[in-house]
Structure 1
């Protein structure tokens, strides 16, 4: 076992980030959040990486904030400090990474852990996994972007029900509601995540990053603003080697071989 709470493994151009406190269901401490932020910053400067997969060690994805940590339960000022110093920057980092980010939810994702998963671009979950907005159980509101992601993914009524009641929702229902991309049988989960990450790594990375940027902006744009965003970003994609390769492959009736540039 390693003392590191964040593990990073490179497999070719795919990065696998593992939350590594399995004995505590990967619940988040201040030092773990700090380490996670540092690792994400390093990933943002990695020109060779084309996909990031985030998962949890053991039987959980992430049980949220570790309330047993000294100082975790404090007054409003200390809570705000944790949010502004750790959670908010981490969510922004995930959303702005210039590559697809896959959440491989292998078990329970609760509280901030659930919203960490929902911040990712594509969420795949094992059927035994579940998602819990556990905040109301301790008298708090969803943070780590929960109040932003939930209504956009499942609608206002379901978002309020999930947030207020704090009930667990299993992976299959989460997929049915549009909260996540896919729920797969536990036996197929590792192979599904592997195949998905490899597929994404073979796609035009710059175009995917620009696509992510455009879709993230669409939630607060008018149609005219979004048309302007498309007109701004599409020429950037058109300047890439991958665009030229895609056109030539289409004309030559052959599979494209993208290099992520």
Structure 2
């Protein structure tokens, strides 16, 4: 799709969430909109994936933000929908939830209040998790005789280790935003009143950098998650070498020596 087609798609009325484009600040927002608990329906997940992909393809967007209306991010999925969905449909859930991770652009999620189940899993697939002090994270599937099915336990274990993951998953424990920060899966934990301004500041911070260098760093770090140290260092060297010939690197060096802000173009 070209930019016009993408914007036409993004102007559609979506079920369970809304979309905002702020091209002046080069940002696209997805806002969960089924308050008070922003339950995420089964059918909603595939459309969310498509919106993430559209934002990623939009030439005017540098940063993607996922947030929610009201005092809770999301209490999780529509439980009844799991019983009604076909096994084939359910098998695609993890792919849809992984859409933020696959985006080449940085994705920030703003969490407050309940961030449970698929709401937590979506947040774990983002690059930066900004939590309000009111945030409560949980993977409560054990209460239903189930386990997380969209990457929740897998991503969490990579971030915080086996012992803490078992504590959260096997005991269905709720974890505060501050504890998430202390354990290392939350980027920043801020007072509730500062959540939006913190996200705004991070968007503007990320926009200062080279889009090419940002894309390269995100893919490199994600790909190296399962690599040995030797392979990871080798891949980092290859990516570094490629960026040395980029126009953005040339601009960055010239701007540094001229003591002026760099103007990156993603080339």
**Given the two structures, how large is their TM-score scaled by the length of structure 1?**
0.90
Runs of 4+ in 1 over 4 A off after TM superposition: none
Q: Is the 8 A contact 1:83 1:144 kept in 2?
A: no
Q: Select 1:30's aligned residue among 13, 26, 42.
A: 42
Q: Is the 8 A contact 1:14 1:201 kept in 2?
A: no
- In the aligned structure 1, how far is the partner of 2:197 from the partner of 2:90? 35
Partner-residue secondary structure (3-state), 1:188 = helix
Structure 2: gaps of 5 or more residues = 1-12
Q: Select 2:117's aligned residue among 95, 111, 116.
A: 111
* Offset at residue 7 of structure 1 (A): 1.4
TM-superposition CA deviations, 1:15-73 (whole Å, max 9, x none): 111111114x111112211221221221232122110000112221122211144xx22
Question: 1:224–1:193: structure 2 CA closer, same or farther, 3 Å change rule?
Answer: same
The equivalent of 1:5 in structure 2 is 16
Q: Name the Cα RMSD after superposition.
A: 1.8
Matched, 1:238 2:241: no
After TM superposition, the structure 1 stretch with the greater mean CA deviation from structure 2, 208-217 or 238-247, is 238-247
- In the aligned structure 2, how far is the partner of 1:196 from the partner of 1:248? 25
Q: Is the 8 A contact 2:21 2:28 kept in 1?
A: yes
* Offset at residue 99 of structure 1 (A): 0.8
* Offset at residue 163 of structure 1 (A): 0.5
TM-superposition CA deviations, 1:58-105 (whole Å, max 9, x none): 221122211144xx225xx83x433322x2222332112111000111
* Offset at residue 3 of structure 1 (A): 6.3
The equivalent of 2:83 in structure 1 is 73
* Offset at residue 239 of structure 1 (A): 3.7
- In the aligned structure 1, how far is the partner of 2:90 from the partner of 2:100? 15
The correspondence of residues 91-110 of structure 1 with structure 2, limited to 5 A, is 91-110=97-116
- In the aligned structure 1, how far is the partner of 2:242 from the partner of 2:90? 34
Q: Is the 8 A contact 2:16 2:40 kept in 1?
A: no
- In the aligned structure 2, how far is the partner of 1:149 from the partner of 1:219? 10
Matched, 1:158 2:170: no
**Given the two structures, how large is their TM-score scaled by the length of structure 2?**
0.88
The equivalent of 2:33 in structure 1 is 20
Partner-residue secondary structure (3-state), 2:108 = strand
- In the aligned structure 1, how far is the partner of 2:224 from the partner of 2:160? 17
Question: 1:239–1:48: structure 2 CA closer, same or farther, 3 Å change rule?
Answer: farther
Q: Select 1:130's aligned residue among 133, 136, 157.
A: 136
Size of the aligned set, in residue pairs, is 253
Q: Is the 8 A contact 2:141 2:148 kept in 1?
A: yes
Q: Is the 8 A contact 1:29 1:66 kept in 2?
A: yes
